Structure 1
Amino acid sequence: MKMYLSSINDQIWDVTENDYVIIDPTNLTNNDKENKQCNTMALNINYNAIDSKVFEQIKDCERASEVWKRLEETYEGTLAVKSAKSYILKDKLTILKMKDDDSILEMFHRLQVIVNNLKALGEKINDDDVSHQFLMCLPPRF
């Protein structure tokens, strides 16, 4: 049973991420039927996971892949937007300095927010580089 669910989940994700093609809608193959069913399941999962305001943005989509793409662009941005965000965050990381009224914990939190945002954009961040950057942000009194 667990193996079957894993397989279904994989199919649902595949239809969501990669879409699917039906060559002859009048003569559906078993694979076509499975893809259509997985698409319906994926749409239902998305509809149940979002609030009514977000639903208004995607309700015209007939395919889970369309929904996913629209949500990605809405919340992550296009490739150009992601690139610009990444550039801005990298710049913030390089100029980051500890404020006079910051505690070490507050400083580390500000650094961690930047690093987490970069990781969310797909940037590979080395923990050693983060540690080095943190030490570089500290004023001489530390």
Structure 2
Amino acid sequence: MRTFLCSIDESVWDSVENGYVKPTTAKSEWDKAALALANANSKEINSIFCGVSTDEFHRISHVKTAKEAWTILETTYEGTKKVKDTKFQMLTTRFEELR
């Protein structure tokens, strides 16, 4: 998914890594940089929505930023940091047993 999003535009993946905060001013007052960030977030969230199943879409359809959607999906499928660390520890322990 990361490769796909980067292929759209490198700034698209940046909105997942760095997040996006919508400016508080009216759109007519946004400069080119603010508009580019908004467009990147829109492209990314649209790509994520199109790339997930109906059930996953219902889980993330309420979010406004790509980072929020990504975090929900990441937590759902990979778990929290604690879960990931536990899985890694189990894998390394099992690997040591097999050696």
Name the TM tier (shorter chain): 0.7 to 0.9
Runs of 4+ in 1 over 2 A off after TM superposition: 20-27
TM-score calculated relative to the size of structure 1: 0.59
Unmatched 5+ stretches in structure 1: 1-5, 97-132, 134-142
Compared CA separation, residues 22 and 43, structure 1 to 2 (3 A): closer
Unmatched 5+ stretches in structure 2: 1-5
- Structure 1 residue 8: deviation in Å? 5.8
Question: How many aligned positions are there?
Answer: 92
Q: Say which SS state the counterpart of residue 82 (structure 1) adopts.
A: helix
**C-alpha separation in 2, matches of 1:59 and 1:21:** 18
RMSD over equivalenced CA pairs, Å: 1.9
**C-alpha separation in 2, matches of 1:52 and 1:8:** 23
Per the alignment, residue 106 of structure 1 pairs with none
Per the alignment, residue 59 of structure 2 pairs with 57
Q: Say which SS state the counterpart of residue 20 (structure 1) adopts.
A: coil
Q: Which protein is richer in helix relative to its size? A: 2
Per the alignment, residue 17 of structure 2 pairs with 17
**C-alpha separation in 1, matches of 2:34 and 2:7:** 16
More relative contact order, 1 or 2 (CA 8 Å, 6+ apart)? 2
**C-alpha separation in 1, matches of 2:46 and 2:8:** 14
Q: Percent identity?
A: 29
Q: Is the 8 A contact 1:42 1:64 kept in 2?
A: yes
Compared CA separation, residues 7 and 53, structure 1 to 2 (3 A): closer
Per the alignment, residue 95 of structure 2 pairs with 93
- Structure 1 residue 82: deviation in Å? 0.6
Per the alignment, residue 3 of structure 2 pairs with none
TM-score calculated relative to the size of structure 2: 0.82
**C-alpha separation in 2, matches of 1:29 and 1:42:** 20
**C-alpha separation in 2, matches of 1:23 and 1:39:** 13
Match of 1:42 among 25, 41, 44: 44
Match of 2:72 among 70, 74, 91: 70
**C-alpha separation in 2, matches of 1:22 and 1:44:** 16
The AA in structure 2 aligned to 1:9 is D
Q: Say which SS state the counterpart of residue 62 (structure 2) adopts.
A: coil
